[in-house]
Amino acid sequence: MGSIWEIDFYSRPILDANQKKVWEVLICESPADVGKSMDSLFRYTQYCPSTEVNSGWLRTALQEAITQAGEAPIKIRFFRRQMNNMITKACQDIGIPAQPSRRALVLNQWLKQRMEEVYPQEPGYQGGTNPSVRLERPLPQRLPDALEGKQWAFVSLQAADFAEMSEWEIGFGEAFPLEIAQLSPETRIPGVLIFSPRALPIAGWMSGLELAFLKFDTTKGERLILETGATESWILENIKNPQILAEAKGFEEAKQKANGVHFIGVQSDPDAQSFTGFWLLQEVNLP
């Protein structure tokens, strides 16, 4: 399996000689497992004059990045919806699928680092925020009936337990190095396990989405929500039982203590020794 890349193409808090915003493309490899070293991830960056912001310029930058990396990725993730057309066009022109996704953990960390350490050193730097355009998000959808789990449970593991994740028997799934979240080995990482005789189609359906994170939501009742893609979300469960409600609150509290890290697993039944699906997730605040 080839690599997956994360991309951001947007204006930065820097003005050129004509007092126009300087744009920049950031490209980085998206780690797929816990054993990947952050230092080994491919990265590429290039500034773009505001007069040349178009899919053609971006296509050329992508081609240069592929040359530097030595191979093309199997897909490219991006989180800024307002850049959808330009990024999708540039990727299509070189034959790589582009996927709206909030699973841009390395890119998010890199952007924060550049905002703090790199851009302030550039001529024309303009302090303050460089907000992204906020677009309206659709309401959470109900899961298709065929994909609802027969039962599910809140569980937790220590961060140290994930050191052996590469040895677990997992069908569909994805992870990332926990050094991204800077957790101690003793940190409890909360998760949700879904059990169903239809574990395979459930995990297969999930693998076709860009899983972002799970959250306990109280805006309209008390619900467990699965966030996917750039804006999509799904209602995993409407919670009524007081005991499960307490566990859901505990899940959310533990997730915050673990810097947003959590997981979701799919198994055929509670006694299964393997995972039909397992995803390590992190909730982050993207620009």
The pLDDT tens digits of the residues spanning 135-154 come to 677 889 987 776 666 788 99
Summarize the confidence of residues 49-72 as an average pLDDT: 97
User: Pick from 60, 87, 121: which residue ends a domain?
Assistant: 121
Nearest-angstrom CA–CA distance, 223 and 140: 10
> What distance in Å separates the CA atoms of residue 41 and residue 189, rounded to the nearest whole number?
24
User: Does any domain span residue 129?
Assistant: no
Q: 190 and 60, same structural domain?
A: no
Mark whether 42 and 90 lie in a shared domain.
Answer: yes
To which residue do tokens 């926990």 refer?
178
CA distance 236 to 23: 39
DSSP result, 170-222: EEEEE---GGGTT--TT-EEEEEEEE-TTHHHHHHHHHTS-EEEEEEE-TTSS
Residue 218 falls inside a structural domain: yes
Could you give the number of structural domains in the chain?
A: 2
Domain holding 77, by residue range, is 4-121
In a domain, 130, yes or no: no
Q: Are residues 65 and 192 in the same domain?
A: no
Same domain, 152 and 64: no
Assigned domain for 248 exists = yes
Same domain, 176 and 53: no
What average pLDDT does the segment 249-262 reach? 97
| Residue 144 structure tokens | 């298709």
pLDDT at 269: 93
In a domain, 134, yes or no: no
**Shared domain check, 186 and 230:** yes
Q: Are residues 193 and 73 in the same domain?
A: no
Last residue of a domain, one of 54, 87, 121: 121
**For residues 116 and 129, is the Cβ–Cβ distance under 8 A?**
no
What single-letter amino acid sits at 57? W
Task: Mark whether 214 and 249 lie in a shared domain.
Answer: yes
Asked whether residue 263 is domain-assigned, the answer is yes
How high is the mean pLDDT of the chain? 93
Of 107, 265, 116, the closest CA to residue 193 belongs to 265
Look at residue 134 in the predicted model and tell me its pLDDT: 66
Residues 63-103 have pLDDT tens digits of: 999 999 999 999 999 999 999 999 999 999 999 999 999 99
Separation CA 229–CA 122 (nearest Å): 33
Same domain assignment for residues 104 and 170: no
In a domain, 236, yes or no: yes
Query: What's the token pair of residue 160?
Result: 């140290």
**pLDDT at residue number 63:** 98
Please spell the DSSP secondary structure of the chain, one letter per residue.
Answer: ---EEEEEEEEEEEE-TTS-EEEEEEEEEE--STT--GGGS-EEEEEE-GGG-SHHHHHHHHHHHHHHHSS--SEEEE--GGGHHHHHHHHHHTT--EEE-S--HHHHHHHHHHHHHTGGGSTTB--S--PPPP---PPPEEPPGGG--SEEEEEEEEGGGGGGGGGS-EEEEE---GGGTT--TT-EEEEEEEE-TTHHHHHHHHHTS-EEEEEEE-TTSSEEEEEETTTEEEEEEE---HHHHHHHHHHHHHHHHTTTEEEEEEESSTT-SSEEEEEEEE-----
Alpha-carbon span 170 to 265, nearest angstrom: 9
Task: Print burial letters for 62-81: b (CB count within 10 Å at least 16), e (below 16).
Answer: beebbeebeebbebbbbbbb
Q: What would the pLDDT profile of 150-209 be if each residue is shown by its tens digit?
A: 788 999 999 999 999 989 999 999 999 999 999 999 999 999 999 999 999 999 999 999
Is there a single domain that holds both residue 157 and residue 52? Answer: no
What was the pLDDT predicted at 132? 62
Looking at the structure, do residues 167 and 275 belong to the same domain, yes or no?
yes
- Return the CATH number at 42: 3.30.420.10
Q: Are residues 186 and 90 in the same domain?
A: no
Dihedral of the alpha carbons of 155, 35, 287, 16, in degrees to the nearest 10: 170
Task: Judge whether 287 lies within some domain.
Answer: no
The total number of residues shown for the chain amounts to 287
